[in-house]
Amino acid sequence: MAVPRKSEVIGSTGESAPEDDSDEALVARAVGFGDTDSFGILVDRYQSRVRAYLRQMTREPAAADDMAQETFIRAWTKMDTFSGKGSFSSWLMAIAHNQFLQTVRQSQRQRRLVERLEAEARVSEALSGKSASPSPSELPDLPRLLAILSGPERSVMLLGYGFGYSHGEIADITGLALGTVKSHIHRGKARIRETFRLEELDNA
């Protein structure tokens, strides 16, 4: 990304690092002048999204917040690689997603996560009676929905339904092919439809 001169960046806004500056202007300041205040505004702007995503993926708030911190530190060190072609939000979420995958691989948390999710699935099954399918009038909450999904399904559906990213953006964030993203969403929906009979809610 071409880094404008400081006078150009500041001149465009009249002040240094105002809260309502565009992401691109803040990134330019952070890259060009090592302006941590500008980066602080970006942290403020996107911390909810990154932390919420990682919390839902890990189901461990403390571990998720550690990962979120690492995500922002990594974003700071890699800031000059932000091309500006896509949104800063997608770029940041891609770092968060990779941070999650890397942490899971390194710490073998995946095994514990799977166990936890399996346990949650058993609990939700027990709560809803012998059958895994609740009555149509029963609206499942997010943890129960996520518990029946595979890792990739959980990831793409969270990014799509939870944070409003398009299929193309999800492909960029996760590094999956567009067709793979669509098939994960399709399979996830089919699993949810089958397990919770969600569509029947409309007719109930």
Partner 1 sequence: MHEHGQDSLDMQLGSIFRQGVGQPHDDAFRIAVCRRIRRRSKIRRIVLATAIAIGGLIALSPAYQLALALSDGLAQLSSVFNGVDWSRQGQALYMVTIIALLTPLVTMILEE
Q: Which of 118, 166, 177, 194 binds partner 1 (CB under 8 A)?
A: 166
Query: How far from chain centre, in Å, is Cα 119?
Result: 23
- On whether the CB atoms of residues 173 and 165 are closer than 8 A, the answer is yes
Write a three-state SS string for 35-63. Answer: CHHHHHHHHHHHHHHHHHHHHHHHCCHHH
CB of 11 vs partner 1, minimal distance in Å: 25
Tell me which residues in 90-119 interact with partner 1 (CB under 8 A): none
Does residue 135 bind partner 1 (CB under 8 A)?
A: no
Contact between 163 and partner 1 per CB under 8 A: yes
Task: For residue 106, report the phi and psi dihedrals to the nearest 5 degrees.
Answer: -65, -45
Residue corresponding to tokens 């027990």: 126
Residue labelled with tokens 């970006």 = 42
Asked if 177 interacts with partner 1 (CB under 8 A), we say no
Which is closer to partner 1, CB of 9 or CB of 165? 165
Site mask for partner 1 (CB under 8 A), range 53-92, x = bound: x-xx----x---x--xx--xx--xx---------------
Which stretches of 78-177 are DSSP H helices? 88-107, 109-127, 142-147, 151-157, 167-174
48 near partner 1, judged by CB under 8 A: yes
Q: Which residues contact partner 1 (rule: CB under 8 A)?
A: 34, 36, 39-40, 43-44, 47-48, 51-53, 55-56, 61, 65, 68-69, 72-73, 76-77, 139-143, 145, 157-158, 160-167, 189, 192-193, 198-199, 201-202
